[in-house]
Chains A and B, each alone.
Chain A
Amino acid sequence: DAKTTQPTSMDCAEGRAANLPCNHSTISGNEYVYWYRQIHSQGPQYIIHGLKNNETNEMASLIITEDRKSSTLILPHATLRDTAVYYCIVRVATGNQFYFGTGTSLTVIP
């Protein structure tokens, strides 16, 4: 599985968009990009995933570059409850391997 690189930490003002980058330069054509977040003392929670096209759901948007070597998770209007560690993962479509890195610790500031 391709590895991912994320910044260790980020801050974002409440109400503003939070843009979390992820580098996955060795991603293969059949690997999906997944995003999870983990709020303190809870298990990781699924946010969104995508292959090539940009994706949006009720929680976030996922922007994947055309060459698929990087992606950005966008929380459009960050709230204090979005303070968490965000993990970017690449996963083979037909495989069940999910390997987590150390993620990005996002702090939403009032």
Chain B
Amino acid sequence: EAGVVQSPRYKIIEKKQPVAFWCNPISGHNTLYWYLQNLGQGPELLIRYENEEAVDDSQLPKDRFSAERLKGVDSTLKIQPAELGDSAVYLCASSPGFRAVGELFFGEGSRLTVL
């Protein structure tokens, strides 16, 4: 079974440029998460989807961050424009769904460096 796939693995951009990250969750997983992880810190939730619906986006900085999960499968996280402080690892995770006491499966993350 394929795991959570993220791309790109690494991205270096200059500040004020846009950037997008893509995530393909495990097949059949209804719940998808985007986390932000700063160096030396634990992952922080940015947004959680149940199928196509964003059910928890309270921590997403909506002035520059946006996310979508069309058709309830793949998801894209976008930053426009990027700032120096956005340098971090962006993790995508998926889980089976609302009623399942299942674990969270993570991708390897997308490491963003903003110069």
Interface residues, chain A, with chain B CB atoms under 8 Å away: 32, 34, 36, 41-46, 49, 85, 87, 93-94, 96-103
Taking A94-B99, A99-B45 as contacts, is the C-beta distance between A42 and B104 under 8 angstroms?
no
Q: How large is the interface on B (under 10, 10 to 19, 20 to 34, 35 or more residues)?
A: 20 to 34
From B42, which residue of chain A is reached at the shortest CB distance?
Answer: A100
User: Inter-chain contact count A-B, CB under 8 Å?
Assistant: 53
Nearest Cβ in chain A — how far from B66, in angstroms? 21
Q: Does B2 contact A (CB under 8 A)?
A: no
Nearest Cβ in chain A — how far from B53, in angstroms? 12
The answer to whether B106 and A43 have CB atoms under 8 Å apart is yes
Task: Give the dominant DSSP class at A's interface.
Answer: loop
Interface residues, chain B, with chain A CB atoms under 8 Å away: 4, 31, 33, 35, 40-45, 48, 50, 56, 91, 93, 95, 97-99, 101, 103-109
From B96, which residue of chain A is reached at the shortest CB distance?
Answer: A96
The answer to whether A102 and B98 have CB atoms under 8 Å apart is no
List B contacts of A97 (CB < 8 A). 45, 48, 56
